[in-house]
Amino acid sequence: MDRRSLAVCTFVTFVACPLFAVCPLFVGAVCAESASRPNVLVILSDDQGWGDLSLHGNTAIATPNIDRLALAGARLDRFYVSPVCSPTRAELLTGRHHVRSGVYSTSAGGERVNADETMIGEVFKRAGYRTAAFGKWHSGMQYPYHPNARGFDEFYGFCSGHWGNYFSPMLEHNGQLVTGNGFITDDLTNHAMDFISQHVEEPFFVYLPLNTPHSPMQVPDRWWNKFKDKELTQLPADIKQAKLDHARAALAMCENIDWNVGRLLAKLDELKLAENTIVVYFCDNGPNGDRWNGGMRGRKGSTDEGGVRSPLFVRWPARIKPDTEVTQIGAAMDLLPTLADLAGVEVRGTKPLDGISLAPLLLAENVHWPERMLVHSWKGKVSVRSQRHRLDHKGNLYDMHKDPGQTQAVNDKQPETLAELQQVAERFRRELLPRHGAAFDDRPFVIGHPDATWTQIPARDGVPHGDIQRSNKFPNDSFFLHWTSLDDSITWNCEVGKSGTYQVELFYTCPAADIGSTIELSFNDSRLTGKVTEAHDPPLEGMEHDRVKRVESYVKDFKRMNLGTIKLDAGQGTLKLRALEIPSSQVMDFRLMLIRRVAD
């Protein structure tokens, strides 16, 4: 059977197949003759646009290592992701459109990939690979959504959608909170290189989802100094200073990424692993600001071309010829079946995939490739991309070969093409969107999953009541403040996965004048009380490293407080934190709870 026949011909749609026709899945042919399975390294940048590479014509930036990676293997000319970060991750990890997997937001639980989805880490782990993820997970924090529960033996990074400090911040290592070491992109790369060095003799799958150039715009002086006064000639002359500095910071962060990619490639060379290691590089959405992007319309958050077009570079010296250019369209959801196909790994236990294997194209096999369509959707906006055309969310059709900037609609000139793409868009809206979103999300946050020792319950996922305020309108990496009344509380819709005794730690700040409040944590009939006895009042942090004023929350050095132990019975309920006594003006600023099962 032809490998390209694997597909669920839906929202990736093959014109040659009936909509919703399920085609059989077959992978494993590529490496059947190989005695040694290839290693896999997937690098994903965050908010880097297609235009943030010198290879693509950006004259302000130098990305020699990523450019070299691209030219040493295959590059897809038209590769597509989602308009924002969490849905792209969901599609990479599951091989399915993000709408199917429960992802509808970038925070507060809406970023979680449904627990019944099989992820790429599980697929490769079952095949005997050592698996690791280092960086921004952004697909769920608590088990069963945590990376350690989704097939990754090793995890170091953070599970939120963005982080508030990039210099030695609080991070997580396999469930336990630790302190990072230096600039986060460098730190994550170091951990990836260490893992690779430890597994030279066995196949590995390393997923490196970096969190830059996502804001806050922080980057070491070495890179910022090159850009802080640099003239960006490809931007409009009247661009506002704040946007200009934002673009400069983003480009500096991209050059730092390139430096780290160079270190990874050098490590593979040093360990003599380069020949049989598949290295993948792509971005999660369009640029997060006004900067050069090849004249395409749209940026991050948009379903237009500039919001969803990403580079995709795949290097595998053992099998993929240098300077291979693929002109057929591809998508993030294609990567799971493609990598499994290249590695000879069986894909089993998944729901029907929307992605297809691009292996024949990467290997330059002489195959007939049918027309297909990709659907991009976010916040109710739906756009359809065929090999030549794009139907935007307003119903305008564009010939992307003649008009890559989407400036002149061709609805009247190509009515048949218009009707064809409209049919795909309308069916997507009718079949998938009616029950998609927060209103239909009844998934609780899980405490004490049977397979987990530690559970984080952050302010991000909580609901404030009374006068309690969130430190920023963007929940990721935020904290609660202005807790001043006995009527105030914070609640979480939770489920205890396993009955047992749990130790509870709070991360808080409190001025010396306000210590002494008595607080209560409750879940159904269980109660735990404790008192804030130690002052800890550090200043806000983050602005000292910001190159541009941020829109997200600043952070603090929160203190750990042992609240005590509580007996929790399995089942659903409301986890509630409230004050029983407030002797002064406030209770505390609250960042998160860390809950650990200490006895069954």
Residue 36's pLDDT band, with cuts at 50, 70 and 90, is: confident
Answer whether residue 22 shows pLDDT above 50: no
pLDDT value of residue 265: 98
Mean pLDDT computed over 437-443: 91
Once rounded to an integer, what is the mean pLDDT over residues 300-327? 97
Q: Does residue 252 register a pLDDT over 70?
A: yes
Q: What is the pLDDT of residue 23?
A: 36
For residues 283 and 299, the answer to whether their CB atoms sit within 8 Å is no
The span from the first CA to the last CA of the chain, in angstroms, equals: 51
CA dist., res. 51 & res. 232, Å (int): 13
Residue type at 140 in one-letter notation: G
Q: Please choose, from the candidates 206, 193, 186, 200, the residue with its C-alpha nearest in 3D space to the C-alpha of residue 273.
A: 200
CA separation for the pair 330, 81 (Å, rounded): 9
Give the model's confidence band at 221: pLDDT under 50 very low, under 70 low, under 90 confident, else very high: very high
| Confidence at residue 292, expressed as pLDDT on a 0 to 100 scale | 96
Mean pLDDT value across the chain:
93
Average pLDDT over residues 504-510: 98
pLDDT at 348: 87
What's the pLDDT score for residue 6? 31
Q: What is the pLDDT of residue 12?
A: 52
Distances (CA, A) of 60 to 52, 90, 231, 297, 310: 9, 32, 8, 20, 19
pLDDT tens per residue, range 525-569: 999 999 999 999 999 999 999 999 999 999 999 999 999 999 999
Strand-pair category, 445-447 with 571-581: unpaired
Mean pLDDT, residues 260-270: 98
Only one residue has tokens 């899945």, namely 25
- What domains are defined for the chain? 3-378 (3.40.720.10), 444-599 (2.60.120.260)
Residue 350: what pLDDT?
86
Measuring CA to CA, which residue among 356, 378, 349, 432 is closest to residue 150? Answer: 349
pLDDT band at 334 (very low <50, low <70, confident <90, very high): very high
Res. 31: pLDDT tops 80: no
Mean per-residue pLDDT, 113-117: 96
pLDDT of residue 349: 83
- Reply yes or no on whether the pLDDT at 399 is more than 60: yes
- Per-residue pLDDT band at 200 (split at 50, 70, 90): very high
Cα 457 to Cα 391, 450, 554: the distances in Å are 41, 16, 19
**Long-range contacts: 395-398, Cβ < 8 Å, 24+?**
395/422, 397/421
Q: What is the pLDDT of residues 80-100, one digit of tens each?
A: 999 999 999 999 999 999 999
